[in-house]
Structure 1
């Protein structure tokens, strides 16, 4: 038996006297980001212990996200199950790649979890051929975070920031930039994250149902790219060259950002209480099913089929992650994690006004928007297509013919996804 699957024997009485031996209730979990995912999982373990499972222990093992994916890829491809955890966190963009590439490696949870209680789009991301394989965790539901003081200085109100199209957002952004001297947004032209958000808001994605590319001839892709090109050719943005630069820009260098709810912690770290607000993201007006809701990032928990303790994993996940509203309130307050359990929006923490955002009930807003995010199938080559888009962004920013740029993206994506 390997270290990763070790199981100890515990024997005790309430007074600490030995009464006999019993198998310890221990689960091994792989995840990244100890201050977010790790802390949330530790909180879940504590909640499970309080539910009448005092002997339960969690062996949380920390790795970088890329390292987890590489370790899974290597071992599953080799058919080597030794050392794999009971539960692993997988980013939503990568879920379909693992599920389709390694059938049978993950335990189906369709008959274990009541998925009607979760956001539809999160369930779809973990489903293949009628089976669903994950306990949905955090949402990347997006919002338009904006400096309310700068918006007001430019002559706009909170009402003006609602139900926007991207054209309207650009108009406001250029006015704010001119009136205040502060760029509306910051962008890294090597990262197509904003375009990804725009595309999902239309209910479309890079692939068709059969997995073939859905780029050329996709009217939603073109409509989103047209809006994206308008942004790139406007005067309302400033360039950043790294994730660290982007985060730093939110400390007073820009008037807004479009991102996932998880960016809230970064915005609050700037100590600018009362100067920020949040609205739904702008929509792609030319898209047939354009909405003001989207997603960026997010992840879910998967049970490995090789686990010796699947039943324990099932009970742990369903008891806490699948139904405990109090737990979701705790990780919202402590980690800023907006979970995908729809019932959690009824918790007290979700109803509270947030002084940092001018008294806005931001968590309730995000919870409401979560249920309206269009579900799309990320497929198995999302990052490969993102790479093809990224390599064409400079030309698009320079005014390249849109159809030619899309053709170039499609050609590069075809090579990268072979």
Structure 2
């Protein structure tokens, strides 16, 4: 029953309305916050739930002023923050014709404007690489993260922070009618390859496990940490067990629920190239390049990479 999977997750393995795979690993984006740092600044997790990025900036500036902490950390060159921002609007940096679409893309420009302001106002800590990104989190320099839910495994490795983190929805982009508080970053699907010797058996296996069995997902969650894309799994007792690390929130059922709201957007095999180009543009803008020139360069570079 394809209605038992979120529309976005299904679309990753569809061509012309035909299914070619079964969604598996959940990549729904979450926002995670240190509640002790929020409390120090006079906020709770509810203040960061279902908000806009402009409200996030208002709170982040206050948090930094009162605590010296950043409300978010992000990588300068490899970060996914901008990709999640635009995809939460059901948009992308590539259009439906498969062409680079940065200049003249209203959603893209709004995302860039917001992101640059977040950096310039000490709300986002812009770091150079993944190791620095992780150290800002584990070292307590950043009070929050927005990323795919797989980031919870990294957080849970900081035993001294048990009970201090909570999750909620990511902020949504101001001024875009299609904006939501939901995005995706990561995940996977299962496929039957063309050289399969017994297609019927393979189809039956996928349909009876990843495609329909809550018992199956209950069994693999504690053993592997793989979070289901199959929406009914989120209703099970296993998925609704409170997480001690996340202040007893039932994070797994929450993540599955988030995945049902993520909007569809244009897919591209040049995801990482687009990410690199737009992040370079942001760094250049922060360092003084005018926005129009930086975005045009990003557009031209991405268009060139798409011809290679």
Give yes or no for TM over 0.5.
yes
- The 8 Å contact of residues 82 and 279 in structure 2, kept in 1 or not, is answered as no
Do the aligned residues in 2 keep the contact of 1:119 with 1:342 (CA within 8 Å)?
yes
- 5 Å matches for 1:133-212? 133-212=20-99
1:318-337 equivalences in 2 (<5 Å): 318-337=207-226
1:238 to 109, 122, 125: 125
Q: Secondary structure at the match of 1:412?
A: helix
Aligned-residue offset at 1:310:
2.3
CA drift of 1:226 comes to: 1.1
Q: In angstroms, what is the RMSD of aligned CA positions?
A: 1.6
Alpha-carbon distance in structure 2 between the residues aligned to 1:129 and 1:307: 23
1:412 matched to 2:304: no
Compute the TM-score of the two structures, normalised by the length of structure 1.
0.70
Partners of 1:124 and 1:377 within 8 A in 2: no
- Number of aligned residues: 305
The alignment status of 1:249 with 2:136, answered yes or no, reads: yes
**Given that residues 118 and 136 in structure 1 are in contact (C-alpha distance below 8 angstroms), is that contact kept between their aligned partners in structure 2?**
yes
Q: Deviations over 1:102-122 (max 9, x none)?
A: xxxxxxxxxxxx322211101
> Highest CA radius of gyration, 1 or 2?
1
How far apart are residue 366 of structure 1 and its match? 1.4
Out of 233, 240, 260, which is 1:351 matched to?
240
Which of 253, 270, 273 matches 2:158? 270
Bigger relative contact order (CA 8 A; separation at least 6): 2
After superposition, the Cα gap between the structure-2 partners of 1:292 and 1:411, relative to the gap in structure 1 and judged at 3 Å, is same
Partner of residue 18, structure 1: none
SS in 1 for 2:64: helix
CA displacement at 1:229 relative to structure 2: 1.2
- From 196, 203, 214, the equivalent of 1:314 is 203
Q: What are the Cα deviations for residues 37-81 of structure 1, in whole angstroms up to 9, with x where unaligned?
A: xxxxxxxxxxxxxxxxxxxxxxxxxxxxxxxxxxxxxxxxxxxxx
Equivalent of residue 129 in structure 1, options 2, 7, 16: 16
Give the conservation status (yes or no) of the 8 Å contact 2:119–2:125: no
Any unmatched runs of 5+ in structure 2?
Answer: none
Partners of 2:78 and 2:129 within 8 A in 1: no
CA contact (8 A) 1:201 1:290 kept: yes
Match of 1:364 in 2: 253
Using the TM superposition, give the Cα deviation of residue 399 of structure 1 relative to its aligned residue in structure 2, in angstroms: 4.1
Structure 1 segments unaligned to the other structure (5+ residues): 1-113
The correspondence of residues 93-132 of structure 1 with structure 2, limited to 5 A, is 114-132=1-19
